[in-house]
Structure 1
Amino acid sequence: PPQPAAPPPPAALSADGTIHMLASALKDLATASVNNEHNATLLSRISTPKDLPEFSGDPMEWLQFKQAYDESTLLCNFSEKENLWRLRKCLRGAAKETVAALLISATSPAT
């Protein structure tokens, strides 16, 4: 992000100039904050696997699967539609059969 310009010496500032300078600094700060969040999300998506581990319904694998789903969703800020596609791709066997109707008709996965 662009660096804000150095402020003028205090003697050269008028009330209007000070307000304008503060408004400009706040705008720069807000822009930098949004860019940093966006960059963090992009970096997370690059470094975190998008695909979930396969899950067939084995109760012994559920906690690991749910943790992978929750953590990657939070870290990468996946949308509900992206999560639905991820679930369609990774579910197998009994797990897929159990939620098949939801995977077709749902707009967001309920965890």
Structure 2
Amino acid sequence: MPIQNELKLNVAFMDELHHEFEEILDEMKNCKDNPKFMQLFFKMIEHTKNHFKTEEELMTKYDFYDKQEHLNEHESLLSEMIYFYEKAQKIPLFGKSYINEYAYDKFRRHILNIDSQLAMFLKENQ
């Protein structure tokens, strides 16, 4: 599933990471097998950790002016994912509800409100 135009930032590595995340999310939404769903959930968390680490290294390297807010957002999103993953280990429906009803909106808002600022900054400073 290609990333929607409104979510493209025209920074290649960011668009690629977002596309990969979207593919994992799409696969999770269509997954009917609970063990496979949990594997994908774990994969999504690991992908997100790597994604955030990449962004955070660039924010440090280029002295991004709004780094702390971006870091706070990363911490919040990742903590939430881990919370729902842990709950889903006991009650799979809990995790599926998070994925099906909230995760994409959080992903979209993060790109539009937070990552877009970093992308604009990187285009001007790289």
- TM-score of the aligned structures, taking structure 1 as reference length: 0.29
What TM-score, normalized by structure 2, do the two folds share?
0.27
**Considering only CA atoms, is the larger Rg found in Structure 1 or Structure 2?**
1
Work out which structure has the larger RCO, using CA pairs closer than 8 Å and 6 or more positions apart in sequence: 2
